Amino acid sequence: MINALRGMKDLTFEESQRFVHIVTTAIGIAKKYGYNYIETPILEETKLFKRSVGESSDIVGKEMYQFEDKGGNDVCMRPEGTAGVVRAFVQAKLDRRQNEKFKFYYYGPMFRYERPQKGRLREFHQFGCESFGEASVYEDFTIIQMIGDIFSALGIGYKLEINSLGCTECMPTYRQNLVNFLTECQDDLCEDCNRRISTNPIRVLDCKNEKCQSLLTDSPKLIDNLCDSCDNDMKKLTQLLETANIDYTINTNLVRGLDYYNKTAFEFVSSEIGAQSAIAGGGRYDKLVEFLDGKATPAVGFALGIERIMGIVKMPEVNREGYYLGAMDQEAIDALFPLASKKRLTNKVEVEYEPKKLKAHLKGADRVNARYCAVIGEDELKNGTIWVKDLVEKEEYTISQSVF
């Protein structure tokens, strides 16, 4: 037997229903916030992710599904959606339409060669949104509010953590202060953190090693060293969240695993799903469009992990729906098809191809959760009628096939 690859999962029956419910709910809400669908390829040039997600990130450094294609191109299965959307935005020259705003949503598979565990897959699915052209912190708030709406509609509880990652004005001084601090306690930091002091010191802040975390309690915090613009935005964001009654905590160590963020960064976490508790993450990335050769365009976005919320989503009750059509003898079966075609214009219809007794048809209708069981037997065939049972109202009647 050939199985799916390690860390990759099929979505069959029950899971696929959850998947579709999550995606359709998220799409419905994203549309209310003015987002339009965008589709980008799964395969991109490797340099796209090196330049955006960052060479020193774990995603690019350790986790890419990267290979040479038959034409000798260095390509990669996308580990996330933002880079491809920004590339498409620049390629379509939307960055040149400076007075316009563009808001895109997408969903689809992402690939990261991580060590699989509960909630951590090598192929997983994200639903994401990217908003281009809006520098105001009101947009950061609106995106957070939209994610809150999505989780509420899905019946999912969450904790929201926010931070500011500063900007080109305040980040360099902070980074230097942090490097000075880290260099002093270098000998006590783990191997990864030691490497990161020179490659990406900010990432040291979210090291999972307990010893490193205890050393970091005294580290300088970016939030205390923000420039006026970043500080005002952070204050405004917290004020907006409070007014909207959205609970949050400021996590000064929240740095995100992707290098393109500045200013607002956030994560939604769930206490119900184990160690891999982040169910959505995102933030502002005002420099990325420029970094990918476009005209400077402010941007903010997020993505949620569909598999991570599949286990905790509250599914709506499924009501009986549509028609089950059956016949009691072979000659009556052909008569079902024109009736099925007509009913299918407005209803869900399933046809049973085997002649069966009435009791078996009622069981069949139950199995497919149909509201109506409609059966043609010998008498009905002769009279041009059909017997119908409403399985909700528990009523039965025989009507002419012409009005069915």
Specify the stretch interacting with ligand HAM by CB under 6 A; choose among 69-77, 147-155, 274-282, 365-373.
274-282
Nearer to ligand HAM, 300 or 362 (CB): 300
Q: Under the criterion CB under 6 A, does residue 146 sit at the interface with ligand HAM?
A: no
Q: Provide, rounded to whole angstroms, the least separation between the CB of residue 285 and ligand HAM.
A: 6
257 binds ligand HAM (CB under 6 A): yes
Between 36 and 198, CB nearer to ligand HAM: 36
Among 54, 201, 305, 364, interactor with ligand HAM by CB under 6 A: 305
CB of 159 to ligand HAM, least distance (A): 13
Query: Residue 217 is encoded by which pair of tokens?
Result: 């309690």
Selected from 11, 75, 240, 278, the binder of ligand HAM by CB under 6 A is 278
Provide the token pair at 296. 């400077």
Given the complex with ligand HAM, which of 167 and 349 has the nearer CB atom? 167
Q: Does 105 bind ligand HAM (CB under 6 A)?
A: no
259 contacts ligand HAM (rule: CB under 6 A): no
254 is a site residue for ligand HAM (CB under 6 A): no
CB 263 within 8 A of CB 104: no
Shortest Cβ distance from residue 359 to ligand HAM (Å)?
46
Among residues 308, 343, 361, 371, which is the contact residue for ligand HAM, using CB under 6 A? 308
With beta carbons less than 8 A apart as the criterion, state whether 401 and 374 touch. Answer: no
- When binding is defined by CB under 6 A, the residue of 35, 104, 124, 127 that contacts ligand HAM is 124
Kind of pairing between the strands at 102-111 and 36-37 = parallel
The answer to whether the CB of 307 falls within 8 A of the CB of 18 is no
Apex 104 CA angle, 98 and 106, nearest 5: 155
Q: Which stretch binds ligand HAM (CB under 6 A): 277-285, 327-335, 351-359, 383-391?
A: 277-285
65 in Cβ contact with 72 (< 8 Å): no
Phi-psi region of 212 (alpha: psi -120 to 50; beta: other; left: phi over 0): alpha
Residue from 281, 294, 298, 326 binding ligand HAM (CB under 6 A): 281
For 96-158, give the DSSP string: G-TT--EEEEEEEEEE-----BTTB-SEEEEEEEEEES--SHHHHHHHHHHHHHHHHHTT---
Q: Using CA atoms, how far apart are residues 253 and 234, in angstroms rounded to an integer? A: 15
Six token digits for residue 324: 């089950």
262 lies in the site for ligand HAM, by CB under 6 A: no
**Binding window for ligand HAM (CB under 6 A); candidates: 159-167, 237-245, 282-290, 379-387:** 282-290
Name which of 31, 30, 74 is nearest 51 in CA terms: 74
Counting contacts by CB under 6 A, is residue 266 touching ligand HAM?
A: no
Minimum CB separation from ligand HAM for residue 381, in Å?
A: 55
Annotate each residue in 15-54 with x if it binds ligand HAM (CB under 6 A) or - if it does not, as one string: ----------------------------------------
Name the 3-class secondary structure at 395: strand
Say whether residue 302 binds ligand HAM (CB under 6 A).
yes
Residues β-bridged to residue 74: 68
Examine residue 121 and tell whether it contacts ligand HAM (CB under 6 A).
yes
Q: Across 150-217, where does the E strand assignment appear?
A: 159-164
Nearest distance in Å: CB 170, ligand HAM? 21
**Of the candidate residues 40, 52, 57, 126, the single one contacting ligand HAM (CB under 6 A):** 126
Compute the radius of gyration of the chain from its Cα atoms. 27
| Smallest separation (angstroms) from ligand HAM to the CB of 167 | 16
For the segment 209-228, give every residue that binds ligand HAM (CB under 6 A): none
Q: Read off the amino acid at residue 136.
A: S
The residue from 82, 200, 251, 264 that contacts ligand HAM (CB under 6 A) is: 82
Contact assessment for residue 281 and residue 256, using Cβ atoms and an 8 Å cutoff? yes
Side chain identity, residue 271: S
Distance CA 94, CA 91 (A): 8
Query: Structure tokens of 389?
Result: 């049972």
CA-nearest of 251, 269, 244 to 157 is 269
Q: Which of 112, 203, 361, 371 binds ligand HAM (CB under 6 A)?
A: 112
Count other Cβ atoms within 10 Å, centred on residue 309. Answer: 26
- Residues interacting with ligand HAM, by CB under 6 A? 80-82, 112, 114, 120-121, 124, 126, 128, 130, 257-258, 278-283, 285, 301-305, 307-308
